[in-house]
Amino acid sequence: LRADRQPEFTQIDIEASFIDEASIMGTAESMIRKIFKGSLDVELGDFPHMPYSEAMERYGSDKPDLRIPLELVDVSDLMAEVDFKVFSGPATDPKGRVAALKVKGGAEISRKQIDDYTKFVSIYGARGLAWIKVNKRADGLEGLQSPIVKFMEGVIEQLLDRVGAEDGDIIFFGADKTKIVNEALGALRCKLGEDLNLYTTDWAPLWVVDFPMFEENSDGSLSALHHPFTAPKCTPEELEASPADKLSRAYDMVLNGTELGGGSIRIHNQAMQQTVFRVLGISAEEQQEKFGFLLDALKFGAPPHGGLAFGLDRLMMLMTGAKSIREVIAFPKTQSAACVMTDAPGDVSQEQLKELNLRLRLKAKTEE
């Protein structure tokens, strides 16, 4: 389990009718401002609104920590023709990306530290971590330290200009499928911010908006990014004609890289709900079997409605300066979701299974 997750948690849910995004976001923002002022005497700054696509492009995360002054810079166009397949392959792949992450003054990072960061990004699927140290830019290639510079002589000046490189900087690179690059460099960005103490402020709130309605699975099918009851920013006809690029009316409140709460405006129209189900591959028969009660209710009319749910434990974690919600929650579980006090989860007796009319299907033992 991540530091901000537990099997049991406390949620504060707001649900309301006849509202829009501005109403629910304004209410939630006012509440958080009042809590911070009343409890910590902290005046939170502006809550900028950032589209999901921008958050992923610039920070590699849908919950960016804006205290850290590091950004991902896309360099796919520069790497498309270089004689280095590790870069040119993803650069020319429609689902790939090559991105750079410049760290000001980072040339002092040792080779041992670079090796450690390489192992770190491998957790997120990255197969390596290329880098360039800018020792003295005025000396051209001689002023750069890296095993990959020889492959990009024709674009090196454009690259350095694009990332704003100066003497003493280091540039890290990610080159792979877009999802892997974003996750790996996004995580590296946060780790560098912590390791090098790059934080520029104590609190950095924002709203992430304009999430995609759907995400593509490995088999090409679509799944709801949030849930299938989130309203899209389009008509049913537009959604069915081109679902993959449609945006939703969802929103997340983020503080210091942690999602404090999330919500959306819900679908209140039967035709729209049926369209979303069809896009997800749910037949008319299955729709009626599983969601007939909802579709029937929508047919008779439902008010525009939406909401937002806060994670109370995450809020307490941030306000107290704790590193994990385990420090602010009653009866916390370990990272493997075990309870050290009761040794749960434990074995289930046959009597207990029989009482509930359950039978375990045990995995067959593999032969040596």
Find how far residue 315's CA is from the centre of its chain: 18
Could you give the C-alpha distances from 13 to 28, 35, 200, in angstroms and in order?
10, 16, 32
- Provide the CATH number for the domain formed by 69-199 in this structure: 3.30.1360.30
Sort strands 258-265 and 305-311 into parallel, antiparallel or unpaired: antiparallel
- For the record, the structure tokens of 261 come out as 């709460």
- For tokens 């579709």, name the residue: 295
Per-residue pLDDT of the chain (368 residues; tens, 9 = 90+): 666 777 778 899 999 999 999 999 999 999 999 999 999 999 998 999 999 999 999 999 999 999 999 999 999 999 999 999 999 999 999 999 999 999 999 999 999 999 999 999 999 999 999 999 999 999 999 999 999 999 999 999 999 999 999 999 999 999 999 999 999 999 999 999 999 999 999 999 999 999 999 999 888 899 999 999 999 999 999 999 999 999 999 999 999 999 999 999 999 999 999 999 999 999 999 999 999 999 999 999 899 999 999 999 999 999 999 988 889 988 888 878 888 888 888 888 999 999 999 988 888 766 54
CB atoms within 10 A of CB 235: 13
Among the listed residues 42, 49, 50, the one whose alpha carbon sits nearest the alpha carbon of residue 26: 49
SS3 for 177-229 is EHHHHHHHHHHHHHHHHHHCCCCCCCCCEEEEECCECEEECCCCCEEECCCCC
Query: Cα–Cα distance between 282 and 277 in angstroms, integer?
Result: 5
DSSP 248: B
- Could you tell me the residue ranges of all domains in the chain? 69-199
Considering only CA atoms, give the Rg of the chain: 24
**Strand bridging mode 169-177 / 222-224:** unpaired
DSSP three-state, residue 250: strand
DSSP 114-172: HHHHHHHHHTTT-S--EEEEES-GGGGGGGEE-SSGGG-TTTHHHHHHHHT--TTEEEE
Query: Which residues, in sequence order, are CB contacts of 93 under 8 Å at separation 6+?
Result: 177
